[in-house]
Amino acid sequence: MISAVATSQANLLIVNGRLWPPRPGRTALAVAGESIVALGTDAEIRELAAPGARVLDAAGGTVIPAFNDAHVHFLSGSRSLSGLDLFGALDLAAVRAAIEAFLAGGKAGPWLVGRGWQYAAFPGGMPALELLDRACPERPAYLEAYDGHTAWVNSPALRLAGASGEALRTGILKEAAMATVERVLPAPTFEEDLAALRRGMAVASARGVGSVQEAGAGQDQRALYQALRERGHLTLRMRLGFDLPPGLTAAAWEQRLDEYAESSVGLDGRWLSGGILKAFADGVIESRTAAMLRPYEGVESLGEPNWDWSELRRAVVEAQRRGWQVQVHAIGDAAVRAALDAFEAAAAERPPVALRHRVEHVETISAADLPRFGRLGVIASMQPSHAEPGRNLREAWAPRLGAERAGRGWAWGSILRTGGRLAFGSDWPVVPLDPGHALHVAVHRTTAAGEPAGGWLPGERVTLPEALSAHTEGSAYAERAEAWKGSLRPGQVADLALLGEDLSRPGLELPALKIRATVVGGRVVYEEGGPAS
């Protein structure tokens, strides 16, 4: 039986598919304008076609809500598409070859800029200044680690920046010290950034992504996305997170929130929105800057928290009082606890009304804190591809924690079972923007090649329906938008991905998941084998 909100004729039909979640008699849907208006059989939906309506044949593949990336650095990822990509270089020889090939190809500008190197590629977990000086001796070089929390720079770059101290010996800058060189990097023009974002949106559309949530610095990016929207070039929905920095006085924080409120006017739409603040509680485990409850293995260090935890609580309480949702980057177990403590304190001051505060990443967590997500109504915003049990996890991440703490790595299964809500994303460009890979790691806890057999920490696996929900409706819930997007039902916006596979087929290879078409707001923005319309 047809399920519809209207009987008016539709301008876009998708037929011969398997709508998600599977139900008998649902093989097709109809779109009028930007919205889904009906679900039903092929015959029922074809009757709703307006003259000249476009018909997409799903060819037996599954039709799902478009992926919603709950945590992404989209401008950074888009810019990185034109730089050196070291993500797949897993040892010294591969790193050297990638740098040499990029320079030989004439792709570098006045600076060699790139990202993606992994700690495990280098003896001791960090690259050496001498290696980059030999590979790029003349022009300055700035290469970010895959996680964006460490920079590897050469001597020309250090001289230009007027750097001093340890960096002159190592060529390594961690966390806030990265700004030493970042401030002298050539800045892209406005039009160059627009061109980069158009390339990034093309990548997202080809991956079935219809919405992304920018995790920080949104206050500096609004004009870019407004320009894309005004020019008719915006092909995905963007939520901008504004920065919540430490070190502000109470008066300065009040002024900052006033400025944010003023700049948020007009950001309440369905294509470009705001309403959320982003705080960095700590760094990352590989560089031992994530904040831990107990010292790292073999060293007397608890990491490098970015906040005094009492200050974080005060900032979250004030932000909630002003109606802001807050997301906190928290990777170490101490940072995760501090974020949950801050949200609990805010709730005690004034119970939040559907603010749905969030902890981002949650790479390791104390067992005592697992049920607090469900109890407090806090969302665990996690990026499954980070947990791929490859060389970086085995050789750089886990040894710094030890077996006991590593055994609670990326515990999305436990969070879900104890009543928490999950939202999945990529953290692009930290890892590639690839929902199929993310689903694979969430469901199997193995590398794309299927290692280790049986999965790493298999008790933390989730089912495919649970993983897909976290990457669609769960992410919409995390941005308080599930009433109008994130699922296939009449009245929801027509943000859809047509997969080349039947998701119910046994043995499905999720890393090879094929996107046949992507629809955002009723518009086909990607179609395999042809131009977008």
Condensed to tens digits (0 to 9), the pLDDT of residues 483-512 reads 999 999 999 999 999 999 999 988 899 999
**CA gap 372, 477 in Å, rounded:** 18
Q: Does one domain contain both 107 and 150?
A: yes
356: left (phi over 0), alpha (psi -120 to 50) or beta: left
Q: Considering 166, 182, 198, which residue would you say is the last residue of a domain?
A: 182
Contacts of 314 (CB under 8 A, 6+ apart): 250
Q: Does one domain contain both 59 and 83?
A: no
User: pTM higher than 0.85 for the full model?
Assistant: yes
Q: What is the mean pLDDT of the chain?
A: 93
Closest CA relative to residue 145, chosen from 206, 80, 209: 80
Q: Does one domain contain both 61 and 81?
A: no
Q: Does one domain contain both 44 and 135?
A: no
Q: Does one domain contain both 56 and 116?
A: no
Q: Does one domain contain both 87 and 109?
A: yes
The SS3 assignment for 526 reads strand
For residue 102, the domain's CATH number is 3.10.310.70
| Burial of 49: CB neighbours in 10 Å, binned 0-12, 13-18, 19+ | middle
**CA gap 291, 281 in Å, rounded:** 8
Determine the pLDDT at residue 90. 86
Average pLDDT over residues 213-217: 95
- Answer yes or no: is pLDDT of 152 > 90: yes
E-strand ranges in 331-434 read: 358-361, 379-382, 421-424
**CA gap 235, 101 in Å, rounded:** 33
Q: Does one domain contain both 158 and 109?
A: yes
Q: Does one domain contain both 125 and 38?
A: no
Q: Does one domain contain both 105 and 173?
A: yes
Domain assignment of residue 435, yes or no: no
Encoded amino acid at 2, one letter: I
Q: Does one domain contain both 62 and 95?
A: no
Domain assignment of residue 323, yes or no: no
Q: Considering 136, 164, 182, which residue would you say is the last residue of a domain?
A: 182
Q: Does one domain contain both 57 and 104?
A: no
Tokens of 283: 């760094």
pLDDT in tens, 406-457: 999 999 999 999 999 999 999 999 999 999 999 999 999 999 999 999 999 9
Determine the pLDDT at residue 4. 62
Domain assignment of residue 261, yes or no: no
Helices marked H in 56-112 — which ranges? Answer: 74-80, 92-104
For residue 35, the domain's CATH number is 2.30.40.10
Instruction: Kindly indicate the confidence band of residue 353, based on its pLDDT and cuts at 50, 70 and 90.
Output: low
Determine the pLDDT at residue 146. 85
Domain assignment of residue 494, yes or no: yes
Number of domains observed in the structure of the chain = 2
Domain assignment of residue 497, yes or no: yes
Q: Does one domain contain both 116 and 54?
A: no
Domain assignment of residue 501, yes or no: yes
The residue range of the domain holding 105 is: 76-182
- Answer yes or no: is pLDDT of 109 > 80: yes
Q: Considering 141, 162, 182, which residue would you say is the last residue of a domain?
A: 182
pLDDT in tens, 48-73: 999 999 999 999 999 999 999 999 99
Domain assignment of residue 144, yes or no: yes
Domain assignment of residue 48, yes or no: yes
